[in-house]
A and B are shown apart, each in its own frame.
Chain A
C-alpha cells in the first residue's frame, strides 16, 4: 500500500508542501507572521521563547525550531530574526541546511532596516513558494510515514474506543514499515511496567523507567493534590478517577508493537517503529516536539469529559498547522449536530453503541491516514486560518 507524497533531498517524504517562515525569537514574531501571512503556501512558525533562558532550554529550543524547519512537510524555510536572539538565527539555519533543505537566514542586524528585511523576506518566500508549487506528488511506501499520537479531554471511554482504534492502526502502520511517536510522560505513571515489558532492549526499558520515575518524583516533591491537573477536571467529569486509570487508557493508543526507543523532547528517532518522547501532556507543546522529530501527521483522540459540552472551538485542541491532524472522537450520548461534523474526521463512539467493531473503525482510520497523507484536507485544515505561537517544552527557570 502506498501514499502520494513530496520527495525531499534527505530521503524523507512530505505529506504537505509548506515554506516555513521561522522566527528565531519572540522579538521577530511580527516580522515572520507578516511575511508568512502575505504569501499563500507559507507557514509562520512563531513562539515565545525568550533570550533569558538557560543553556538546556536554549538547546532544546534550537532543536525544536531547527527540527520543525527540517520537517518533511517543509519544502524550504527562511529564518528571520533581529540577530541577537538565543538560539541564534544562523545556528537554526545551519541545522535546517543539514536536512538538505533550501534555507535562508535574514536578520534585521544584517540589512538596512525592518522594511528592508520585510521586502527581502517576502521576495524570497514568494520565490520558494513558486518553486514548491511546481512539485508533483509521487507514490511512496508506508515506511516513509511517521505519525504522532495524542489523546485529549480523555474520558473513561477513550481507552475502550478511540485509543484502541488508534493503537490497532499504529500496529498496522508499523507492520507496514512505518513509525509512530507518542509522549506525555505523566500519562505513563501507573503503566510503566506494561510499557517497559514492550521495550526492545533493557536500555530502552531503563530509560523509560528513569524518565517516568523522574516525573513522578518531581510531582511528589511538590506535595500538592494533582487531581484536577492530572487527571484534569475534564477527565474526572468523563469518569477517569486516578492517573493510573488515565495512563492505562492512554497507552491503548500505542498499540502492541515493541517500544524501539525513548527520545528527548524534539529528538529525531533512529530507526523505524514505535518511539516514546519525554514531554508534558500539553497538546501544543507535544505537537511541536513531535513535528521537530519528523512526524508528518498527527492523530488526536478526543474523549468525552467536558469537551463534549464545549464543542471544540477553533484552536482546540492545540495544533501546529504544519501537520495535518486527524481527529478521532470517542464520546457518545451527545447529539451529533452539523457543527460537530465539521470538527471530527473519525467517529469511534459507534464501538460503544455496538454498531461497529474496533477493527472496522481502525480500518476507516487507516484509509483516512493514507488519504490525508496523499493530500486530502482534514476537518481542521478546512477550518479557520487561526494560527497561534508554537509552545516548546522548557524545564529551567526564566532568569
Chain B
C-alpha cells in the first residue's frame, strides 16, 4: 500500500512515503493513526507533496501546521504540489524573472 504522512492536522498537504503513480490510492497517516485514503491525480516522487484538499489560487499551502507558500494556480485534491503550483510567501520570485 502506498503511504503519505500528514504531519499536522491543520495541513492541506501530505508527504508521500513511496513513489506514487497517477491513479494510485494513497493511505494517509497522521500522528493519531490512519487518516483515510486519497487518489493521486499525477505521479508524485518519494518525499514530495500531495494535496489533501482543493486549494484556490493565492491560498495558503500548509505543512507542519505552518504556511510554506501560496498556490500560484488552483490545485485539486490529489494533485502533486511543488514549484509548478506553489511559490514562497516571503521570498517569491521577482515578477520579471517568472
Q: List 9 A-B contacts (CB under 8 A).
A: A157-B47, A160-B15, A190-B89, A236-B82, A242-B69, A242-B87, A242-B88, A243-B90, A352-B17
Chain B residues, CB < 8 A from A368 = none
**B19 / chain A contacts, CB cutoff of 8 Å:** 333
Number of interface residues of A (CB under 8 A): 32
C-alpha gap A160/B31 in the complex (Å) = 12
Whether B93 and A227, one on each chain, are in contact in the complex, defined by CB atoms closer than 8 angstroms, is: yes
Whether B66 lies near A191 (C-beta < 8 A) is yes
Sort A-B residue pairs by CB-CB distance and give the 10 closest, nearest first: A239-B48, A225-B93, A245-B68, A242-B88, A239-B47, A242-B69, A156-B47, A244-B68, A157-B47, A248-B64
Q: A241-B81, A243-B88, A243-B91 are in contact. List 12 more A-B contacts (CB 8 A).
A: A156-B49, A157-B46, A159-B7, A160-B5, A194-B66, A216-B91, A230-B91, A239-B49, A242-B91, A304-B46, A332-B17, A352-B17
When distances are taken between beta carbons in the complex, the residues of chain A under 8 Å from B15 are: 156-157, 160, 239
B-contacting residues, A135-160, CB 8 Å: 155-157, 159-160
Cα distance A230–B83 in the bound complex, in angstroms:
13
| Contact A190-B90, Cβ < 8 Å, known A225-B97, A239-B48, A244-B67 | yes
Type the 1/0 row for B41-58, where 1 means its CB is closer than 8 Å to any CB of A.
000011111000000000
For A9, list chain B residues within 8 Å (CB). Answer: none
List chain B residues, Cβ under 8 A from A159. Answer: 7, 64
Residues on B close to A: CB < 8 A?
5, 7, 15, 17-19, 45-49, 61, 63-64, 66-69, 81-83, 86-91, 93-94, 97
Question: B residues within 8 A CB of A190?
Answer: 66-68, 88-90
- Contact surface of A with B, Cβ cutoff 8 Å: 155-157, 159-160, 189-191, 194, 216, 219-220, 223-227, 230, 236, 238-239, 241-245, 248-249, 304, 332-333, 352
Which B residues are CB-close (under 8 A) to A333?
Answer: 18-19, 46
Output the least CB separation between A88 and chain B (Å). Answer: 40
Q: Is the CB of B69 within 8 A of A245?
A: yes
**What B residues does A160 contact at CB under 8 A?**
5, 7, 15
